[in-house]
Amino acid sequence: MKNILISSLRAVAFASALLLVPAIASAKDNAPADPAAQLLALSGIVPVKAAGPYVQVGSYRIWVSSHLGKPSAVTSDGSWLYDDFTADQSPARGTLVVRFNQGRVSQLTLVSSAVETAMLTAPANVNGATQIASK
């Protein structure tokens, strides 16, 4: 009786493992292979160090314009958006957002199309630094 019970438990464990193999394999196939693609898929925003070899944090606005050209769009807070950028060695593709502070680049990010849409449709007078949240 004890041998039959142990054999049955082994058979059930083996069958369960076989049923999980396709689920695990498909999860690995669907998951982005690199951190930039994962971050873009999960949060919609990927910080980047530079846009090409010339534009980085601290670059002047005129420098950005001369190297990246005219932006695809400008948000209400003055950020410049450039469509169709990719992260280095990654399939992550989105819109490059260039934020300025006192005429110089203060932040570079790659955002998803959903985040881009939200940025473009935000009211002009909304500025997170001056708002107060309450419950």
Number of domains in the chain: 1
Q: Which residues 6+ apart lie within 8 Å of 99 measured at CB?
A: 77, 78, 79, 105, 106, 107, 108, 109
pLDDT in tens, 27-41: 555 554 688 888 888
Confidence (pLDDT) at 69: 94
Q: Which residue has the tokens 């980047």?
A: 48
Q: Which residues 6+ apart lie within 8 Å of 122 measured at CB?
A: 75, 76
Could you list the residue range(s) of the whole structural domain that residue 42 is in? 35-121
- The token pair at 123 is 């009211």
Q: How many beta carbons lie within 10 A of that of residue 29, not counting itself?
A: 8
Q: Which residue has the tokens 């280095």?
A: 88
In a domain, 15, yes or no: no
In a domain, 102, yes or no: yes
In a domain, 20, yes or no: no
Confidence (pLDDT) at 12: 47
| pTM above threshold 0.85 | no
Confidence (pLDDT) at 20: 57
